[in-house]
Amino acid sequence: MLQSRRFATAKFPSETFYCYPTRQFPSKRPRLSKMAQVTKINVKTTSQKYLIHIGEGLVKNLNQILNESGSSERHVVISSQPIWSIHGSEIQTALGKTDLVLIPDGETAKNLNTIATIYESLIKLGADRSTTIIAVGGGVLGDVAGFAAASFLRGIRLVHIPTTLLAQVDSSIGGKVGVNHQLGKNLIGAFHQPIAVIADPLFLQTLPRREFRAGLYEIVKYGVIASQSLFTQIHDGLDQVFDRKPEVLSKIIAESCQIKADVVSKDERESGIRRILNFGHTVGHAIEAVTEYRRFRHGEAVAYGMLAASYIAMKRDLFSSENHAALFSLISQMGPLPSVSDLSISALLKAIHRDKKIIKGKLHMVLPIRLGETTIVNDLNETELREAIVTIGVPKGR
């Protein structure tokens, strides 16, 4: 059984509402003094072609990147108070005078109320169809600001500047934007591709270790579904990854982005291959749902979900026991996961059956067949799901 230690229930940042338009002026010294190699990755979906720019100190060149991406002169930055207080001055210095809308942070603020306040701010600022929204923050901020961009005036341009590892390798790419409904996560949304994604690993230096690790689980996911070499890099170089050396991070971020870019370029709307990105999400989403999105970071729940899926694949002789052990050992070495020992199997099974992965009454699940390749099955039975859930630490019979 995976050794897990109980975390205090995840605390979301203050619910204080900061949503207001402010005029910002260049301030303070820029912290990003270094300009290193930049990797550019193409995303070519049917609705939009754009580049993901990855590199240390990239934000210094923000204006140039925006110009090259076809951004308008008029920008509105959307961020949150905690993120802006750490990284705002760098972006401000690079952008010059711009409009800023600060919204509340955290999963509890990912809702239509926040969207309404963004609309209000945009209207008060006189934003029009030529305005570009620049979303600066983690996955929550990007999803919320992205949905505002998708719907305001039937859609305006969007640039993502992701500041968490998860957002840099996952949520800022592929155009899924949206908010939660009180009856479920991400139930309201749209596909709205950005015109550029700007991922600077220097932002990750200030990320709490737990958030960093949560993003890293998604990189492990990319390794399992599409790249044995990425998996091995993390597995063999875990200490260096946790040291957060920007050159090490740039490399694994670029490889992850390339995988996501390739997948979403082939299947923008998740009707086929994009579903492989859901590896670990069947059980992962259920864990998040039964704990009301408060105890687990998304990546942590996906980590448990990957172990459960890997176990099922191993039991079906699709995935070798060595590979299952390698995944188990990597996830264990990455650090403690919040406990699942008080969760109920029947509640998890109910949540799994409510999830979006049921197609025509059949539950689909992505299973690994080797490191770097997966298959999708639709003939899961409850017994094997139960057994897999028990192996991750959920008590039998509850």
List interacting residues with ligand NAD (CB under 6 A): 13, 80, 82-83, 86, 105-107, 110, 137-141, 143, 163-164, 166-167, 170-171, 174, 176, 186, 203, 206-207, 211, 214, 297-298
Cβ-defined contacts of 123-128 (< 8 Å, 24+) = 124/21, 125/21, 125/76, 125/99, 125/101, 127/74, 127/76, 127/99, 127/152, 127/153, 127/156, 128/74, 128/153
Is 324 one of the annotated active-site residues of the chain? Answer: no
Q: How far is the CB of 50 from ligand NAD (least distance, A)?
A: 15
Return the number of the residue (323 or 374) whose C-beta is nearest ligand NAD: 374
Say how far apart CA 176 and CA 314 lie, in whole Å: 32
Cα 99 to Cα 122, 186, 275, distances in angstroms: 9, 28, 37
Q: How far is the CB of 339 from ligand NAD (least distance, A)?
A: 20
Return the number of the residue (140 or 306) whose C-beta is nearest ligand NAD: 140
Which one is catalytic: 90, 218, 255, 300? 218
Which one is catalytic: 60, 235, 285, 364? 285
Is 176 one of the annotated active-site residues of the chain? Answer: yes
Q: How far is the CB of 318 from ligand NAD (least distance, A)?
A: 26
Q: How far is the CB of 315 from ligand NAD (least distance, A)?
A: 28
Give me the phi and psi of 368, to 5 degrees please. -75, 145
Is 49 one of the annotated active-site residues of the chain? Answer: no
Return the number of the residue (338 or 345) whose C-beta is nearest ligand NAD: 338
- The CA R_g of the chain, rounded to the nearest whole Å, is 20
Is 218 one of the annotated active-site residues of the chain? Answer: yes
Which one is catalytic: 120, 270, 373, 384? 270
Which one is catalytic: 53, 87, 160, 176? 176
DSSP labels, 233-272: HHHHTHHHHHHT-HHHHHHHHHHHHHHHHHHHHH-TTSSS
Say how far apart CA 253 and CA 54 lie, in whole Å: 8
Burial label, 292 (beta-carbon count in 10 A; 0-12, 13-18, 19+): exposed
Is 61 one of the annotated active-site residues of the chain? Answer: no
Is 285 one of the annotated active-site residues of the chain? Answer: yes
Is 260 one of the annotated active-site residues of the chain? Answer: yes
The residue written with tokens 């859930």 in the block is 389
DSSP tag of 300: H
Return the number of the residue (194 or 368) whose C-beta is nearest ligand NAD: 194
Return the number of the residue (311 or 355) whose C-beta is nearest ligand NAD: 355
Q: How far is the CB of 218 from ligand NAD (least distance, A)?
A: 7
Say how far apart CA 385 and CA 308 lie, in whole Å: 8
Task: Return the active site residues.
Answer: 154, 176, 218, 260, 270, 274, 278, 281, 285, 298
